[in-house]
């Protein structure tokens, strides 16, 4: 199963700019690349910060831009979003029984479980107000089926002081309860605007630097330098044996040589 993971679009209203650039233009270029190379993907998930300020005009713009994407898409919320305006603009996006933008997609490789970590008006994330209970119930109802979590905020640290205050609150007990469920194979998240991946408490995770602005990783400073690098997105190949995450940068590359094909797989063994 091929899964596209986009994150942190930070769209602003038509005609406005963010740090001097146009986030919608960066998204359009990213969509062009996905349409060129990845229309065989089963799903494209955007893990939040769809807009920069949560205004309705930016969600309308997002709706317009996404019309060109030729892969089914699921949208999640980040701390820069407004749940109210998102639901107005995308009334068909599935929500849980408490109104949070949480849902399950039964994919060909297992269950994709989408989480809503937004706390209105704050930068940190949360699974309070029955969101964690909803997740644990989803994990428990099919304990033998592999589950893949997708959320805006990380559920583990990333080693950068800047993001310590902006993680999911109570992430330690949260990740412990997820580990105890026993069927989560990978966590895909956004929020951090850096390329990062690894394993925490035995569960692999990955995040790309995203489509809009990026942050230069710094392991000692609490403030952060925002930069405009090329937009990036991840392509995950998932099957029973594991998860492979490839990172793509939306930039023009110059092919310097075409290498000869290698030996056939059976001959190489």
Which residues are near Fe ion by CB under 5 A?
8, 49
Q: Which is nearer to Fe ion, 42 or 169 (CB)?
A: 169
CB of 172 to Fe ion, least distance (A): 23
Q: Report CA-CA distances (Å) from 165 to 49, 50, 129, 154.
A: 17, 21, 20, 12
CB of 230 to Fe ion, least distance (A): 17
Q: Which is nearer to Fe ion, 8 or 116 (CB)?
A: 8
Residue 1 near residue 108 (C-beta atoms within 8 A): yes
Residue 103 near residue 76 (C-beta atoms within 8 A): no
Spacing of C-alpha 31 from chain mean position: 15
Q: Which is nearer to Fe ion, 138 or 193 (CB)?
A: 193
Helices (H) and strands (E) in the chain, counts: 6, 13
Q: Which is nearer to Fe ion, 66 or 237 (CB)?
A: 66
Tokens of residue 251, six digits: 């930039």
Report the residue closest to Fe ion, judged by CB: 49
Q: Which is nearer to Fe ion, 2 or 80 (CB)?
A: 80
- DSSP for 99-110, please give it: S-S-EEEEETTE
CB of 81 to Fe ion, least distance (A): 10
CB of 162 to Fe ion, least distance (A): 12
């Amino acid at each position: 199963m091929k899964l596209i993971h986009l994150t942190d679009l930070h769209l602003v209203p038509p005609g406005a700019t963010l740090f001097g650039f146009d986030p919608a233009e960066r998204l359009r270029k990213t969509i062009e690349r996905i349409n060129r190379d990845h229309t065989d993907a089963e799903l494209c998930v955007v893990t939040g910060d769809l807009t920069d300020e949560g205004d309705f005009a930016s969600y309308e713009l997002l709706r317009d831009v996404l019309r060109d994407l030729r892969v089914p898409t699921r949208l999640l919320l980040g701390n820069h979003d407004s749940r109210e305006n998102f639901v107005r603009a995308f009334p068909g996006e599935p929500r849980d029984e408490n109104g949070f933008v949480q849902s399950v997609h039964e994919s060909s490789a297992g269950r994709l479980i989408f989480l809503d970590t937004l706390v209105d008006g704050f930068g940190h994330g949360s699974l309070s107000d029955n969101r964690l209970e909803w997740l644990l119930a989803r994990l428990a109802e099919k304990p033998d089926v592999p589950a893949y979590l997708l959320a805006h905020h990380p559920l583990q640290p990333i080693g950068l002081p800047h993001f310590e205050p902006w993680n999911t609150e109570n992430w330690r007990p949260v990740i412990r309860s997820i580990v105890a469920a026993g069927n989560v194979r990978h966590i895909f998240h956004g929020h951090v605007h850096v390329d990062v991946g690894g394993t925490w408490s035995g569960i692999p995770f990955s995040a790309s630097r995203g489509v809009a602005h990026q942050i230069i990783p710094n392991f000692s400073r609490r403030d952060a330098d925002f930069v405009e690098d090329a937009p990036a997105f991840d392509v995950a190949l998932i099957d029973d044996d594991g998860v492979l995450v490839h990172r793509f940068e939306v930039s023009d590359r110059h092919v310097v040589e075409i290498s000869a094909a290698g030996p056939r797989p059976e001959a190489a063994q």
